[in-house]
Amino acid sequence: MKMNCFDRSLNALNNKNKQGSPIYKKNEYLCVKKITTACFVLFVMLSSSCSLNTEPEDFIAPQYYYNNEKECEMALTAIYDKMNFQFANWLSTNFDTADEIWAYGTLGTYINYYYSSDGTISSFWSLLYEGIERANMLLANIDKTEMDETQKNRIKGETKFLRAYYYFMLVQNWGDVPLKTEPTASASDIYYERTPQAEVYDFIYNEMVEAEKMVRPISEFNYAERVTQSAIQGILARVCLYMAGFPNNKTEKFNDALMWSEKLIQSGLHFLNPSYSQVFINLIQDKYDTKESIWEIGFRTTGLTDSYYEYGEMGNTNGIPQNTLAYGMATGSFSSQYHLWKKYTPGDIRRDWAIAPFYYQGTNTLTKVYYDTTKVVSNRSIGKYRREYELTPAESKQKRANGTNYPILRYSDVLLMAAEAENEVNGPTVKALQYLNEVRIRAHAPIYTAVNGKEEFRLIIQDERNRELCFEGLRKMDLKRWGIMIPVMKNLAAFIRQTETNTTMITRSALACDNVSEQHYYFPIPVREMNLNKLLTQNPGW
């Protein structure tokens, strides 16, 4: 199987166009992507093609590569490249349809839709293992390269973290997965048993801790796609919360979650952007604010005349539907739940940005029609990634493709993780309330002055994360680690039937919520992998 891979141009770093701290334009960064056909034939071999079990036809043997720093940087770029538009779109829509989002499709929600032969499930599994194989190959060969040791150490650190992060995606979605840390040796090197997820989490944590010492601080960069110490510290806090929660229940990891989140907070490198909406406008308009937006997946497209781009689709399926390029076309296949809209208190400015308070009417000329807030509107569009804010001229816009970045880690998330961990370790202390209230003050929401115990604070944090981080690919995984996904979805089904008059919503979304069971805590192992690797076993219920 022959493939083209992508190269993020490092030369762009030499053409910096600083726009004023802390916001920067995107054209100067690691993540400008260009299609190449020769340099990366090597990485067809590195990726194991489409699964753990496939050897490609053509490759450059590793002994003829990794000869210098440039080739190692290119190898690292190929690992980053697995975080592409599919990765971003799936995490923010299909794989996150829980109690804040639903799809106007046959089943209304994807939470119990997938099956073992589904192409999306198989593609996501393959994408992650391709990234892991590329990382394994680089780590196995980089020490033979003569280059500056500081640079070599930094490349190793970023590679170790990315490999661990891809395993984090795998273990969250599939539970026990094969843990492969060496490059594929031959065509017969294809059989791997599933490793218990507790062991996989230990590997993830230890690799990230090691990587955190090796990479550079975020203050050395004016863009957010690079793995930095801040990014690793924030993701380590997230990993620890998953290790402390269901099904691992290693509650001692709450201490580590608190330590890593506070290490980032106390660095003094990060603070909230005063404007909640501006956080997302920056993502849309190719600007960076690394004080708040700590790690992003970067996309770029300059329109139909540009032959070299890596486009994204944020704001398309998860945007406000309309059919003209004046604002940028959007299908709006995924909509918000009324249940989420009701969680916001009056005056909370996040509500009318996250959930669009209007819809478009018209064809060539569009009119914004605002909803009557006294009426239930369950299928309001997702408003976080609004294509009308794109700076590309209408005549150059593409129907689906755009350059809106996807946020993986924001500072508000870190504050809420710190508040959650502090509560689990020490109870609802003044410090826990301080972290929580910092997020709420920006939102113009009432602050909490006192909370009656750990359980009450835990419920507050669960709702606050929903309000602050909705449609950012975190909700379903949060419900899973809290061990409450099933009752939450059952309660949502009852809520829909009590408040909804839209028969489609009732028959599709409510029914899908009713059908959620323990089976749906994990995806099925792809049937293709099961057929090729006879050592694999299937997840319960599939």
Is residue 350 a contact partner of residue 344, using CB atoms and an 8 Å limit? yes
Q: Is 204 left (phi over 0), alpha (psi -120 to 50) or beta?
A: alpha
DSSP string, 419-478: HHHHHHHH-S-HHHHHHHHHHHHHTTPPPPS--SSHHHHHHHHHHHHHHHHTTSS-HHHH
- Using only C-alpha atoms, the chain has a radius of gyration, in whole angstroms, of 23
What is the rounded distance in angstroms from the CA atom of residue 54 to the CA atom of residue 420? 43
Structure tokens given for 295:
């790690």
* 341: helix, strand or coil: helix
pLDDT in tens, the chain (542 residues): 223 332 333 333 233 333 333 444 443 334 433 323 233 334 444 444 345 644 344 455 565 578 899 999 999 999 999 998 888 888 888 888 889 988 876 544 566 666 777 888 899 999 999 999 999 999 999 999 999 999 999 999 999 999 999 999 999 999 999 999 999 887 667 789 999 999 999 999 999 999 999 999 999 999 999 999 999 999 999 999 999 999 999 999 999 999 999 999 999 999 999 999 999 999 999 899 999 999 999 987 654 444 445 788 999 999 999 988 878 889 998 999 999 999 999 999 999 999 999 999 987 788 999 999 888 777 899 999 999 999 988 777 888 889 999 999 999 999 999 999 999 999 999 999 999 999 999 999 999 999 999 999 999 999 999 999 999 999 999 999 999 999 999 999 999 999 988 787 787 788 888 889 999 999 999 999 999 999 999 999 99
Closest by CA to 31, choosing from 404, 414, 412, 473, is: 404
- State the architecture of 412-521 in CATH terms: Alpha Horseshoe (1.25)
Structure-token match 């539970």, residue found: 175
CA 400 distance to own-chain centroid: 20
* DSSP of 181-220: -S---STT----PPBPHHHHHHHHHHHHHHHHTTS--GGG
Question: Do the Cβ atoms of 72 and 147 come closer than 8 Å?
Answer: yes
| Overall pTM > 0.75 | yes
Q: Which residues pair with 406 in a beta bridge?
A: 297
d(CA 202, CA 108): 36
Each domain of the chain, given as residue ranges in start order, spans 412-521
Q: Terminal CA-to-CA distance of the chain, rounded, Å?
A: 30
Residues with Cβ within 8 Å of residue 452, at least 6 apart in sequence: none
Query: What token pair was written down for 314?
Result: 């944020």
